[in-house]
Structure 1
C-alpha cells in the first residue's frame, strides 16, 4: 500500500501551486492578455496551461505546510513578483496613451474621447489609436513570447522563498519619469509643428484683429493636426522598436534574468 507523508504531499502541491500564483499574477497584470478584453477565466486557463508546461524544468520548491503562515507569505511573494513584472510592461504601453493625449490636446481633439475597452476608462481617440497600434506591434515582434521566457527564467533568478528586494519597487517607481520622457520624445515633432501653427494664428490675429480666429483657427488646426499626426506615423516604427527593446530589457533586469 502506497503511503504518503504530509511533507511529500506539501512538496508536490508547492511545486505546482507556487509557480501558478506567479504566472497568474503576470497574466492578470500584463498588457494585451491582462486587459478586460480577455476574460478572467481564459487567463486562468492559460496560466494553468503555462504552469503545467514549465513546472518540470523549474528548480526545487521549498516545503510548504498548507495551514502554516509561511505558505501564505510564499504565495504573497509570488503574487507581488508577478505583479511587478506585469506592471513593468504596463508602463511601456502607457507611453503611447500619454503621447496620444498630448497630441490630442495640441490639435484640439481632447474632447473627442471614447471608452477604452481594455482599461474601462475614457481616453482620447488618438490615444486609443496609438494604444491599438502598440498592441499589434507588440504581438508582431513576439513580445508576449519574450515575457513568457523572462517569466520562466525568473524562477531561477528570483527563486521561490528568496525574498523580495526593495530595489524592485524603487526601479518601478523610477520608471515613471522614463514614461513621461519617452512620450514627449515620441510626439515631439508633432508638438513642434502644431506650436508653429498656433504661433502663425497668433501673428494673424495681431495683424488682422477683425479676423474671427476662432471660427477659422479651430477647424484649420484640427485638419493640420491630423495631417501632421499622419506624417509622423511614418517614423514611429524605429522609435517603437527602441522603446520596446528597452522595456523588455528592463523587465529582464527586474527579474535578474540574462
Structure 2
C-alpha cells in the first residue's frame, strides 16, 4: 500500500497560518488572554480552535512552497489580523473599566484601587468589580460563542493573501475606542446625575449651616447612596453591556 504525503507541506503551512491568526486573537481575548491564565491553557485552546477551523479554511490558503518569502508575508499578515480581532474584543470590555472609573469618582472612591486581574495593574475597585462581572456574564450567557463565530467569519472580511484594507482597520479601531468610551459614559450616567445633585445639595447645606462639618456627613452618605443605586441598576447596566458586546461581535460576523 502506498501513502501519498505530497500534500503534507501545504497542509502544515495552512495549519501554521491559521494557528497564527487564532493564536494572536486568543492571546488578547477577554477571559482567555489574561496574564493570570496559564500560557499552556491558552495555547491548548488556540490549537483546539485551529484543528476545528483547519478543514473549513484550508482551501483559502494558496502558499508557494518554493520560497519562504511569501510564507513569511502571509504569517505576518495573519498575526496582524488576529491582533486586530482580539484587540477589538478587548477594547469592547474596557467600556466597563471606563464606567467603573467614573462611578468611583462620583462616589468618592476614586482613590480605592486594587489589582485588575484582567490587566495585571492597578484599577478602580468598582471598575474591577464590573469587569469581572461582565466577564462572568459573557461566559454564562454563551456570548463567547459569538467570538468564535467572528473568528470563523473573519475569513470573509480578511481573506488570506489579499492586501489588508488599512482604512477599514483604522475605522474599526477608531469606532471601537469611541463606542467603548461612549458606552462607558452611558453606563455611568445615573451616577453622574447622582453626584451632581448630591454635591449641589451639600453646597446648599453648607451655605445654610456653615457650622456643620459637611464633608464628614457627605462622604459616608455619598458612598451609601451610590452603593444602593449600584445595587438597583447593575442588572440594567450589565444587560446594556451584553447587548453592546453582542452588537460588536455581530459586526464582525457578516451574513451570507
Quick check: TM above 0.5? yes
When structure 1 is superposed on structure 2, of 162-171 and 126-135 the one drifting more is: 162-171
When structure 1 is superposed on structure 2, of 28-37 and 224-233 the one drifting more is: 224-233
TM-score, normalised via structure 2 length: 0.91
Alignment of 1:178-257 (within 5 A): 178-252=179-253, 256=254
8 A Cα contact 1:59 1:155, kept in partner = no
Match of 1:74 in 2: 74
8 A Cα contact 1:190 1:232, kept in partner = no
8 A Cα contact 2:153 2:252, kept in partner = no
For structure 1, list consecutive stretches of 5 or more residues without a partner in the other structure.
none
8 A Cα contact 2:146 2:246, kept in partner = no
Cα distance between partner residues in 2 of 1:46 and 1:140: 18
Cα distance between partner residues in 1 of 2:8 and 2:242: 46
Match of 2:172 in 1: 171
8 A Cα contact 2:150 2:250, kept in partner = no
Q: What is the aligned length? A: 253
Structure 2 residue 151 is matched with structure 1 residue 154: no
When structure 1 is superposed on structure 2, of 96-105 and 176-185 the one drifting more is: 176-185
SS of alignment partner, residue 231 of structure 1? helix
8 A Cα contact 1:24 1:44, kept in partner = yes
Q: CA deviation at 1:53?
A: 1.9
Match of 2:83 in 1: 83
8 A Cα contact 1:27 1:47, kept in partner = yes
Match of 2:28 in 1: 29
8 A Cα contact 1:154 1:257, kept in partner = no
Q: CA deviation at 1:84?
A: 0.7
When structure 1 is superposed on structure 2, of 118-127 and 33-42 the one drifting more is: 33-42
8 A Cα contact 1:150 1:257, kept in partner = no
Match of 1:106 in 2: 106
Cα distance between partner residues in 2 of 1:257 and 1:14: 28
Cα distance between partner residues in 2 of 1:23 and 1:34: 12
8 A Cα contact 2:113 2:123, kept in partner = yes
Match of 1:14 in 2: 13
1:9/1:186 CA distance change after superposition, 3 Å: same
Q: CA deviation at 1:90?
A: 0.8
SS of alignment partner, residue 40 of structure 2? helix
Alignment of 1:51-66 (within 5 A): 51-60=50-59, 61-65=61-65
What are the superposed Cα offsets for residues 167-208 of structure 1, whole Å, 9 maximum, x if unpaired? 112221232221111111111112212211111100001111
Q: CA deviation at 1:251?
A: 2.8
SS of alignment partner, residue 134 of structure 2? helix
8 A Cα contact 1:29 1:87, kept in partner = yes
When structure 1 is superposed on structure 2, of 137-146 and 196-205 the one drifting more is: 137-146
Q: CA deviation at 1:67?
A: 5.4
